[in-house]
Chains A and B, each alone.
Chain A
Amino acid sequence: MKKFLSGNEAFAEGIRLARPQVISAYPITPQTIVVERLSEMVEDGSLSAEYIHVESEHSALSCAIGASAAGARAFTATSSQGLLYMAECLYYASGGRFPIVMMNADRSTALPWNIYGDQRDSLSQLDSGWIQAYAENAQEALDLALMSYKIAENKKVSTPFMANLDGFVLTHTYETVDIPEREQADKFLPPYETDNRFDFDNPKNMAFSAGPDTNYIFKYKEHEGILSAREVIKQTENEFAEIFGRRYTGLIENYLTDDAEYIIVTLGSIAGLCRETADKLRKNGIKAGVVRLRYIRPFPNEEISEVLKNAKAYAVLEKDISFGNEGTVFTNVNSALKKSGINVRGYNFIGGLGGKNISASDIEKIYSDIQNGTDSVNFIGIGGENNGK
């Protein structure tokens, strides 16, 4: 069934199809619509779940962890300040291997206060042990919602999943979205079964302390779990394609990269404009390409290296800055190339902070700057941090 939906609404439809049993959420712009829709679905009976009106984001995730420890499928959603407020619980959920799904509406973080989209909220939490996916459009948002539980709940993975939607640009933009049928969704995603839960026949002590003798082993296992998502994401997308006919491309999505000399690596909804710009430049004989990171944890080290190895230069375009250094995505991409022994010139472009529009001409300028050489780190609209020196 096709419907005209915003990113938030599409994600809510995906969650409805995934049948979470406990939803605990606290409202924050621009996430609110997803939890409003879910509460309506609970009210009208199209979703059978406990909807819990918690008093904060910290409690939202703490509650979801409790539900997951009981063996229930749990969902929450947040954004920006809310994500930071619940940060303690992010690490708790991943350390306890609770496969909770959370939608994060990517938004700037204060100060200065700003409700618009950038990715500094979620990218600041890359080390929290969650799988992190970034959707580009409403259809992908819905499909991610449905796939997220299948990936997170896989016994090898057993890791919480954060699905990121660019605030407003994606959460509030309407597109035509194909909503899968209930029967097909149920066929794709069976109920959550786990041993990582309370059991009255065989009582468990969960979320315990582990001292220096054993702690590192739990942490290594956690790392193994999220790394194993690389393979599970591929399997899940294959099964998804078989049932629903839409195929996704794993950790990254490449556009015109086979013979590309100049490549922009980016994530989220700005990728569409990058592709359009690449098309335009190709008409002028410039071999432009685009790589969209669909997942940033686990990080696509091999895939990135493979696609960038023959380029003359690449740019990482991100809505993030790790103050005092560079954009975090740039750091991650550079590390992938370094590990593979690939030496291609790379430049960082920081844009879209606090919702500032990134225009087609901004992107054209990125392609031109990386052909000519520029500063290592550049702020769109301001210039290079060394003013070109």
Chain B
Amino acid sequence: MANKVAESISREEFFYGHKACAGCGGSLAVRIALKSLGEKTVSVLPAGCMSAVGFNFPQLCFSNNSIISTFAGTASMLTGVEAGLRAKGYKDFTAVGFAGDGGTADIGIQALSGAIDRNDNIIYICYDNEAYMNTGIQKSGLTPFGAKTTTTPAGKNIHGNIRPKKNMFEIAAAHDIPYAATASIGYLNDFIAKVQKASKIQGTKYIHVIAPCPTGWGVAPDKTVEIARKVVDCGLWYLAEYENGEFTLNHKPKEFSSVEEYLRKQGRFKHLTDEDIKIIADSRDKKWEHIEKTFSYR
């Protein structure tokens, strides 16, 4: 099975020679997505980790056509790139954006909403490492409840971030987008299949992939993929799709692994009390009640 997937993606590398941190989940997501999409792909990346590590003249690390956008402008620039290439007579190309959680859920959400509303023929991939990692681990709209960041310190009075993650997948779906999906780099085959599926669908596609940041999460660089699996296995993240107006769950753990174990493995959650952990586990259960009710499973 694994071989079949590996054979379905390009043997060429499109993102290499960059200086991302050891164990970077975001760079793995970008690398694998580009290998899934192939050479006739134009990528748009806003200011953020991937542009900071791979786009410093003269050390340019994308071997496909790529461009940095403004922080807020990933989706709008993608729209322009797609329209411009089409106007120049190009066919059979893919315009893909790779923005982080802050670039997507905070500063870039307006432009993303506009692009989905217009149903522009683009793929937008949010690599979610749950904080502004490039600037030194500040809270974003996708930082989970309880996480310590440099702007949500964990002290006696406040235990890190006090708000849950925005649900970007369902926000995208609420536009009645042709295709939206969640993924995790811990389940790479599922991510690859979703990127490949998105490339065959006309209109706007949104894929939200969890891509842990060892530096910001406080885990060892060789634990990135493991922690990206655990977040799915413990039920704090889920693998799903939205298509033709329906939500589908792709992966249903028989039994959730321990939320506490997932949290305690990470430096950013070290300070959490048992009570905090119960709040997180309860919110997971509530979310899954909603999933069981509204998502089909096959």
Q: Which residues of A contact B (CB under 8 A)?
A: 21-22, 24, 49-50, 52-56, 58-60, 62-72, 74, 88-89, 92, 198-200, 203-211, 214
Contact = CB atoms under 8 A, between A and B. Distances in A.
Contacts of A206: 65-68
A210 B57 contact: yes
13 contacts: A52-B118, A59-B114, A62-B72, A65-B69, A66-B67, A66-B76, A66-B78, A70-B42, A72-B83, A88-B70, A203-B65, A206-B66, A208-B68
B111 interface: yes
Nearest to A198: B65
Given A206-B67, A207-B67, A209-B51, A69 B81 contact: yes
Contact of B77 (A63, A88, A203): A63
Contacts of A65: 69, 73, 77, 80
Interface residues of B, number: 45
Contacts, number: 158
In the complex, which of the residues A54, A56, A63 has the most CB atoms of chain B within 10 Å of its own CB atom? A63
A208 B76 contact: no
Given A53-B118, A66-B81, A205-B66, 9 more contacts: A24-B76, A24-B79, A58-B72, A62-B77, A67-B81, A88-B70, A203-B62, A207-B68, A214-B58
A208 B81 CA distance: 16
Contacts of B117: 55
Contacts of B76: 24, 54, 58-60, 62-63, 66
A72 B90 contact: no
Contacts of B40: 200
A214 B67 contact: no
Nearest to B43: A205
Contact of A211 (B56, B78, B80): B56
Contacts of B189: none
B87 A208 contact: no
Interface of B: 39-40, 42, 44, 51-52, 55-58, 60-70, 72-73, 75-88, 90, 93, 110-111, 113-114, 117-118
Contacts of B82: 66
B81 A62 contact: no
B46 to A, nearest CB: 10
In the complex, which of the residues B51, B114, B118 has the most CB atoms of chain A within 10 Å of its own CB atom? B114
Contacts of B67: 66, 69, 198, 205-207
Given A62-B70, A209-B52, A67 B87 contact: yes
A198 B70 contact: no
Contact of A55 (B55, B62, B113): B113
A206 B62 CA distance: 10
B83 A208 contact: no
A199 B40 CA distance: 10
In the complex, which of the residues B56, B76, B117 has the most CB atoms of chain A within 10 Å of its own CB atom? B76
B38 to A, nearest CB: 11
Nearest to B74: A62
A70 B64 contact: no
Contacts of B86: 50
In the complex, which of the residues B67, B72, B113 has the most CB atoms of chain A within 10 Å of its own CB atom? B67
A67 B83 contact: yes
Contacts of A56: 110-111, 114
Contacts of A205: 55, 60-62, 65-67
A214 B56 CA distance: 10
A67 B70 contact: no
Nearest to A211: B56
A368 to B, nearest CB: 50
B73 A89 contact: yes
A71 to B, nearest CB: 5
B57 A74 contact: no
Given A67-B80, A205-B62, A209-B55, A62 B111 contact: yes
A265 B57 CA distance: 43
A347 B249 CA distance: 73
A279 to B, nearest CB: 48
B84 A67 contact: yes
Nearest to B78: A66
A83 to B, nearest CB: 16
Given A22-B83, A59-B114, A70-B85, A208 B73 contact: no
Question: What are the nearest 4 A-B pairs in CB distance?
Answer: A66-B80, A70-B84, A55-B114, A62-B73
Contacts of B66: 203-206
B84 A22 contact: yes
A77 to B, nearest CB: 15
Contacts of A199: 65
Contacts of B55: 205, 208-209
Contact of A62 (B56, B69, B84): B69
A87 B77 CA distance: 15
A236 B62 CA distance: 38
Contacts of B114: 54-56, 59
Contacts of A63: 76-77, 79-80, 83
A89 B65 CA distance: 21
B70 A70 contact: no
Nearest to B117: A55
B201 to A, nearest CB: 20
Given A64-B80, A205-B67, A210-B57, A58 B73 contact: yes
Nearest to B111: A59
Contacts of A88: 70, 72
Contact of A74 (B61, B80, B118): B80
A71 B81 CA distance: 9
A62 B80 contact: yes
Given A55-B113, A56-B110, A66-B79, A207 B118 contact: no
Contact of A70 (B75, B81, B113): B81
Contacts of B57: 208-211, 214
Given A24-B80, A72-B88, A74-B80, A200 B65 contact: yes
A118 to B, nearest CB: 28
A59 B65 CA distance: 21
Contact of B64 (A24, A53, A69, A203): A203
In the complex, which of the residues B57, B58, B64 has the most CB atoms of chain A within 10 Å of its own CB atom? B57
A209 to B, nearest CB: 5
